[in-house]
Amino acid sequence: KAGDTLAVGTSGSFPASAVAVLCAATELGLNTKVIASYGSSMYGATRVEFNIVTMLRLLQEKGISLPTVDELVFIKSTQREEE
């Protein structure tokens, strides 16, 4: 219900999913805490300069009502093992 707290863990692998969850939480009036990984797997926010945190902040700047992304962020390595 409105006012409840929702923790959202997300990564750059599924940016559209993260945006959908955050929009729904905002619409429902939830107190949202976001922990986002800057990294992604092979799909999604794979460009270092355009990671999930940057995407969410850009949407906020453009007027999309989203919760603020917490500064606690896990950094995932973008290096892949050689085959």
Q: How far is CA 76 from the centre of its chain?
A: 14
DSSP 49: G
Report the distance separating Cα 46 and Cα 68, nearest Å: 21
Beta carbons within 8 Å of 36's beta carbon, 6+ residues apart: 9, 10, 11, 12, 18, 52, 53, 56, 69, 73
- What does the pLDDT read at residue 72? 43
Taking the model in full, what pTM does it have? 0.72
**Residue indicated by tokens 């949407």:** 59
pLDDT tens, N- to C-terminus, the chain (83 residues): 999 999 888 888 888 898 899 999 989 999 888 887 777 777 777 777 888 888 888 888 898 888 766 544 455 555 555 44
